[in-house]
Amino acid sequence: MILFVGLAASAQEKKDYGYFARVNTFGVFSAYSNDSSHILLGEAESRRLFFLGASYSRRLILNQFVNWQYNGEVMPLALESDPTDRITVTWNTPTPPLPPINQSVVTYTTCHSSSGMETVTVDGVAYTVNYSNQCGRRWTAGEAMSPMGLQLNFLPRNKTQVFLIGHGGYIYSTRAIPVENAGSFNFTFDGGVGVEFYRTNTQSIRAEYRYHHFSNKNTADANPGADNGTFQVTYSFGR
């Protein structure tokens, strides 16, 4: 029995020898996207994302070509930013037919600031109107989770490894995003490519780019969705 256990342990060590591939991996990361556009599915433009979270990976298949892992992420801090437009309209002379306007709205597309004065005719009477719109941003806090994910590292004998990664999950925000009449609960999925640098057999740093999409799948009045390109850096450790 002792001999059998010794042989099994030796075989396991031989199997893992020379690989930079942990069995269980924990990580902490931050991710950021400065803009959104119609990459595949999203329609809302100029949205920003910031995530701060932790990840867990479990090795599934390991050979000289690939290290296939389950990967899940939890983001207790998820921030989303929407462009806003503060519209101001003031009627001058003669007596105003309508009250002044001073309100801020979330825009679907990129905002462009402007101001000026023009003449408006109402019921045959000409009025002078001062107008302006000032662009800003509204950040919304929330949390997110991506429990369904896979990571595929190539050539795991190398200290520097290229990998593919993808997830499915959700983001829950304290108010509707990315527009006022959309939902505060949105489904998410992402997919990307990156490079993992192993400092030791147990520690590494990952840098990656992902396509990230969120939308509410028509569970609210509006569902423009948003496509972002996110950059993420992860510090990983484990055995």
CATH number, position 63: 2.40.160.20
pLDDT of residue 17: 67
- Flag whether 12 is in a domain: no
- Flag whether 163 is in a domain: yes
Q: What is the mean pLDDT of the chain?
A: 90
> Of 53, 54, 61, nearest to 26 (Cα)?
54
- Flag whether 177 is in a domain: yes
- Flag whether 1 is in a domain: no
Query: Over the stretch 179-233, which tens digit does the pLDDT of each residue have?
Result: 999 999 999 999 999 999 999 999 999 999 999 999 999 999 999 999 999 999 9
- Quick one: what percent of the chain has pLDDT higher than 90? 72
Same domain, 113 and 157: no
Domain that holds residue 36: 19-81+139-238
Which residues fall within 8 angstroms of residue 130, CB to CB, at 6 or more apart? 88, 89, 90, 92, 115, 116, 117
Average pLDDT over residues 144-156: 98
What sign does the dihedral 151-192-153-199 (CA atoms) show?
negative
- Flag whether 168 is in a domain: yes
Same domain, 153 and 54: yes
pLDDT of residue 34: 97
- Whether pLDDT at 6 is above 50: no
Among the candidates 102, 137, 172, a domain finishes at: 137
* Preceding amide of 97 cis, omega within 30: no
Higher-confidence residue of 135 and 93: namely 135
d(CA 232, CA 230): 6
Same domain, 71 and 144: yes
Among the candidates 113, 137, 161, a domain finishes at: 137
Among the candidates 106, 137, 168, a domain finishes at: 137
E-strand stretches of the chain: 24-33, 48-62, 66-91, 101-106, 114-122, 125-154, 160-173, 185-198, 203-215, 226-238
Is residue 214 within 8 Å of 32, Cβ to Cβ? no
- Whether pLDDT at 11 is above 60: no
- Whether pLDDT at 7 is above 90: no
Paired tokens of 219: 């569970």
Query: Over the stretch 42-101, which tens digit does the pLDDT of each residue have?
Result: 999 999 999 999 999 999 999 999 999 999 999 999 999 999 999 888 887 667 777 888
Count of domains forming the chain: 2
Same domain, 230 and 176: yes
